[in-house]
Structure 1
Amino acid sequence: MKHFEANFDGLVGPTHNYAGLSYGNVASANSAALTSNPKAAAKQGLLKAKTLADLGLAQGILAPQSRPDINTLRMLGFGGTNAEVLKQAAAQAPQLLQACCSASSMWTANAATVSPSADTHDGKVHFTAANLIEKFHRSIEHPTTSAILRATFNDKRYFCHHDALPAHPTFGDEGAANHTRLCQEYGHAGLELFVYGREAKPSDRPQPKKFPARQTLEASKAVARLHQLDDDNTLFIQQNPDLIDQGVFHNDVIAVGNKNVLFYHQQAFIDNAEVIAKIQQKFDGDFYPIEVPTANVSVQDAINSYLFNTQLVNLPSGEMIIIAPTNCQENQAVSQYLDQLVQLNNPISKVHFVDVKQSMQNGGGPACLRLRVALNDTELAAVNQATILNDTLFAHLNNWIDKHYRDRLDIDDLVDESLLIESQTALDELTQLLKLGSVYSFQRN
């Protein structure tokens, strides 16, 4: 039986816009109110996914959310026809309209936490949709996210789905963006690292003073219980709160792991040396911690380039490479460091650059755009095959984007009912293309 890590990338939605909704995400705030290009964003993300498929990796596609979210706007007291709901929201609470038009589901690293069958007691792949309660515009995602995940991983013999954790600050959960799995081989039992920003209970542990810590220890432990993980194959690590205050809103902005490699910044955790010692104590086999010194790459350079929001992947040959945004090439310190990295004695052999600038401008790099799912060949065959990216699906999706997406979108365009109609028409067609069924509420109403 073969084992590997598949990537499921989120398609960028038709309402991709720059509303600056994510407090604590520097790139998102800096891009507020700029004109976006939904068509370019969707094509950049899709091409990144196709690049990995062409490298021989298992690659899937996850559908975006339906936006504008008319149902949520109606729950908030706006009424009448859809056009009237949009106009009322724009006039009375434009920030709510912008939140209900966010295309943030493109960052599927936040969609859920995933534990592979090699780690779980029941031998199934477990998914827990993230509640994302820290940000309103993301907190409304998980019902549709759950529906899409269930329609994609739809064989109950192999996949177990859990609802999002209770929507309370005690259980703030941001999904796989704060979760990394280390292993010798994908089919072997691994060590799952849950990185949290704060404890919900009173604690003398340091906490950020400026920006919110989005992941709680309590949420991470609840997910580990739901996924039937043992103490021996879990480790709970606190993120450095000083870095959260500098704009490191998720762990995947400052660290990334794959197989027996952890690639992280010198300031990533409260005590890096202690963290590495605990990993080495629990990890079975050779472990390669790669710490990037602040003297080589500052925290701000890491944030601006998204050096750590890269994908560490193993090619079918066994070679480990980094999939990095072209922003890393354009940052002198980061580019010089990557040139040195591939010459050092570690498993990483090369860097492959991809252009995802539309996503980067909104605060998400290559790693944000994908949900990692370790599978064996039997489990991959049980996935909804219409969602697996190949040449045919790539061509169909490119044509679908050309047909339905605008090439510029301003914040003022969100009140336009025709955008809602365009989006729903596009997504209805997409669910047929990906054979998802009626995963959107507008299809069931």
Structure 2
Amino acid sequence: MSSSAHQSPTQPGVPGAQTAHDHGSKSRIAPEEIAVGVVVGRASEYFDFFVFGIAAVLVFPHVFFPFADGLHGLLYSFTLFSFAFISRPFGTALFMNVQRRWGRSVKLTAALFVLGTATAGMAFLPGHAVIGDKAIWLLAFFRLVQGIGFGGSWDGLPSLLAMNAPPQRRGWYSMMGQLGAPIGFIIAASLFLFLHWSLDPDDFLTWGWRYPFYVAFAVNVVALFARLRLVVTNEYTAMLEEGQLEPISTREMVRSQGYNIFLGAFAALASYALFHLVTVFPLSWISLQNTQDLNSVLIVQLCGAVIAIICTVISGRIADRIGRRTTLGLFALFIGVFALFAPFLMGGGSVGQDIFILVGFGLLGLSYGQAAGTVTSNFEQRFRYTGAALTTDFAWLFGAAFAPLVALGLSAEFGLIAVSGYLLSGAVCTLLALRINKAFETKD
């Protein structure tokens, strides 16, 4: 999930390095082949996270927080929702050490095993009615472990893809990894929709909700083989060596590249702030207000996810024409304008809520499609592999981790104007970060 290098491997300052396109390069993997691994890998990871996010609305308040009223049950669930984003940077640091000791394939296998096991483990948890508060503590533990596994699952394929993409098509190839988000959401939401629609409420809350968590483990196994097929090849290793994409210790990264990490994270904040406000938050607000059937909301969100896929693809075309920095800033402005209408749409009954979801997903695709391709573009080459991972970790933490919790809590207290405030703050942070970061003013 990175961008093109502003100091490419063939520029002065990186002596002897070669890109995958240089004559005599040892690597022969086409960008399209790398893109397949990127999309499959990201879709599996996002599936795990969306399974939890949807269950945080439909299931957890009833199964793990039955003692709380509807609002507080959701707020408790969203508190646990944030735990994975808090632990994710620690997972990145831990598994970078694993990679330095035992290699990329061991790291990736272990991380996806941890991620899949934590997600599947939630499926076996008894509810609060059976073991009391221990159920909540175990759910919190699995959520923290899920974040650690997610952080460790960084494989460098997006960085590799951006480096081996044709210079005039880097926006196009950068958006491919971002397709995993709407694809993962479609799979997770479709499963929950089918189960929630076909089962009676008691069966769904007793055992039906567990099936998506079981499926997560199988999805991770498929994704693991798809990614290992690339990661363990000699060509992949050669390409990483050519690009100096090797793990750097977190301490060294923060000491020498901390500015770039945090500025890069804030540069993508508008996209990440919007992310959970069109996926998880509408379900929670509508369930509280009881303005429409939740199955209908899931159907609208599935349509929105399809729109997001289309808009993500479009973002690649736009970015190749006007630049990724300009694209990210432009759609941050659009998100800011969209934020002004959020209270009227979400408070305007089912029609307004559906419009909020569909338009929000469209803007999400257009902005998120280039978010990760832009935030790491100013890293020096040797720091790009670890820098891309940590920048993404902190973008999720600052922008998305607490979005459902804050938006729902403040909206319940002060009204839907809180949603506007949250989205506007993300848009402002993105525009300020892009303004400050002079590296974004280069040819990219």
TM-score range relative to shorter protein: under 0.3
Judging by fraction of residues, say which structure has more strand: 1
TM-score using structure 1 length: 0.26
Judging by fraction of residues, say which structure has more helix: 2
TM-score using structure 2 length: 0.26
